[in-house]
Chain A
Amino acid sequence: MDELSPLVIFIASVFTSNILLTNFLGMCSYLSVSRELKTAWGLGIAVSFVLTCTTAVNYWLYYYVLVPQGLEYLQYIAFIVVIAAFVQAVEMIVDRLSDRLYAALGIFLPLITVNCAILGGSLFMIIRKYDFIQSVMFGAGSGIGWALAIMALAGIRRKMSRRSAVIPALEGPGIVLIITGIIALGFIGFSGVVQIN
Chain B
Amino acid sequence: MTQVIVPALSIAGLATALALLILIAERYLMDYGEVELTINDDRKHRVKGGSTLLNTLKSESIFIPSACGGRATCAYCKVKAVRGFGEVLPTEEPLLTKEEITNNIRLSCQLKVKNDVAIEIPEELFSIREFKARVEAISDLTYDIKLFSFRLNEPEFIDFKPGQYIQFQAPEYGDIDESVYRAYSMCNVPEDKRTVELMVRLVPEGICTTYMFQYLSVGDAVTLTGPFGDFYLRKGDRRMICMAGGSGMAPLRSILKAMKPEQIARRRPIFFFGARSKRDLFMVDEWSAFEREHPDFKFVPALSSPEEGDDWNGETGFIPGLVEKYVDNVAEGEGYLCGSPGMLNACVEVLTKHGIPEERIYYDKFE
State if A and B touch, Cβ cutoff 8 Å: yes
CB of B163 to closest CB in A, whole Å: 37
Task: Check B91–A103 contact: CB distance below 8 A.
Answer: yes
- A71 contacts B7, CB within 8 Å? yes
- A-facing residues in B65-123 (Cβ within 8 Å): 86-91, 110-112, 114
- B293 on the A face (CB < 8 A): no
Q: Within B298-339, which residues are at the interface with A (CB < 8 Å)?
A: none
Which of chain A's residues 55-113 have a Cβ closer than 8 Å to chain B? 61, 65-66, 69, 71, 74, 77-78, 81-82, 84-85, 88-89, 92-93, 95-96, 98-100, 103-104
Q: Is the CB of A77 within 8 A of B11?
A: yes
**B283 contacts partner chain A, Cβ-Cβ < 8 Å:** no
Q: Within the complex, which residue of B7, B21, B91 is in contact with A85, where a contact is CB–CB below 8 Å? A: B21
Of the residues A61, A66, A78, A103, contact of B90 by C-beta under 8 Å: A103
Closest 3 CB pairs of A and B: A85-B18, A92-B29, A103-B89
Task: Report the minimum CB–CB distance from A47 to chain B (whole Å).
Answer: 19
Chain B: residues with Cβ within 8 Å of the partner, total of 24
A92 touches B112 (CB 8 A): no
- Give min CB distance, B54 to chain A, whole Å: 14
Task: Give which listed residue, B19, B29, B87, contacts A96 with CB less than 8 A.
Answer: B29
B236 CB, min distance to chain A CBs, angstroms: 46
Closest chain B residue to A74, Cβ basis: B7
Let me know if B90 and A81 touch, CB within 8 A. no
Q: Is the CB of A99 within 8 A of B86?
A: yes
List of A residues within 8 angstroms of B10 by Cβ: 65-66, 69, 71, 74, 78
Contacts of A103 on B, CB cut-off 8 Å?
89-91, 110
Asked if residues B30 and A88 are in contact (CB atoms below 8 Å), the reply is no
CB neighbours of A96 from chain B (8 A): 29-30, 114
14 residue pairs of the A-B complex, CB under 8 angstroms, read A66-B10, A71-B6, A81-B11, A81-B14, A81-B18, A84-B18, A85-B18, A85-B21, A88-B22, A88-B25, A89-B25, A92-B25, A92-B26, A92-B30
For residue A105, give the distance in angstroms from its CB to the closest CB of chain B. Answer: 10
Are A99's CB and B29's CB within 8 A? no
Distance in angstroms between the alpha carbons of A65 and B29 in the assembled complex: 29
**When chains A and B are docked, how far (Å) is the Cα of A82 from the Cα of B22?**
11
**Chain A residues touching B, majority SS:** helix
One of A78, A84, A92 near B11 (C-beta < 8 A): A78
* A71-B7, A82-B18 known; A104-B90 Cβ under 8 A: yes
* Docked-complex contact A100 and B30, CB < 8 angstroms: no
Q: What residue of chain B has the Cβ atom nearest to residue A85's Cβ?
A: B18
Given A74-B7, A74-B11, residue A99 in contact with residue B112 (CB < 8 A): yes
Please pick, from B6, B14, B19, B91, the residue contacting A78 in the complex, using a CB distance under 8 A.
Answer: B14
Whether the Cβ atoms of B89 and A100 lie closer than 8 Å is yes
Q: Which residues 2-16 of A have a CB within 8 angstroms of B? A: none
> By the criterion CB–CB under 8 Å, are B22 and A85 in contact?
yes
Contact A95 B7 (CB under 8 A): no
Q: How far is the CA of A103 from the CA of B88 in the complex (A)?
A: 11
CA distance A89 to B24 in the complex (A): 10
Q: In whole angstroms, what is the CA distance A89 to B86 when docked?
A: 22
Complex Cα–Cα for A160 and B6 (A): 55
Kindly provide the distance from the CB of A150 to the nearest chain B CB, expressed in whole angstroms: 18
Q: 16 more A-B contacts (CB under 8 A) besides A92-B30, A99-B86, A99-B112?
A: A61-B14, A66-B10, A74-B7, A84-B18, A88-B22, A88-B25, A89-B25, A92-B26, A93-B29, A95-B30, A96-B30, A96-B114, A99-B111, A100-B86, A100-B90, A103-B89
Instruction: Tell me if A99 and B25 are in contact (CB < 8 A).
Output: no
* Residue B15 at the chain A interface, CB threshold 8 Å: yes
Interface contact B22-A98, CB-CB below 8 Å: no
Bound together, the chains give a CA A81 to CA B21 distance in angstroms of 13
Q: Mark B1-34, 1 if CB is under 8 A from A, else 0.
A: 0000011001100110011011001100110000
- Shortest Cβ distance from residue B190 to the other chain A in the assembled complex, whole angstroms: 41
Q: Which residues of B contact A89 (CB under 8 A)?
A: 21-22, 25
Check B29 against A98 for contact (C-beta < 8 Å): no
Given the complex, which residues of A lie within 8 Å of B14, measured CB to CB? 61, 65, 78, 81-82
Cα-based distance from A95 to B10 in the complex (angstroms): 31
CB contact between A98 and one of B6, B11, B15, B86 (< 8 Å): that residue: B86
Nearest CB to that of A39 among chain B residues? B90
Q: Chain B residues near A98: list those with CB within 8 A.
A: 86
CB-CB < 8 A to A74: which residues of B?
7, 10-11
Distance, CA A79 to CA B22, complexed state (A): 16
User: Which residues of chain A are near B15, meaning CB under 8 Å?
Assistant: 81
B90 cross-chain contacts in A, Cβ below 8 A: 100, 103-104
> Which A residues lie within 8 Å of B30 (CB)?
92, 95-96
* Chain B residues near A92 (CB-CB < 8 A): 25-26, 29-30
Chain B positions within 8 Å of A88 at CB level: 22, 25
Among B18, B21, B26, B89, contact of A99 (Cβ-Cβ < 8 Å): B89
Per the 8 Å Cβ criterion, residues 35-49 of A in contact with B are none
Residue of A nearest to B11 (CB): A77
Alpha-carbon distance between A71 and B14 when the two chains are bound, in angstroms: 13
Q: Which residues of A contact B7 (CB under 8 A)?
A: 71, 74
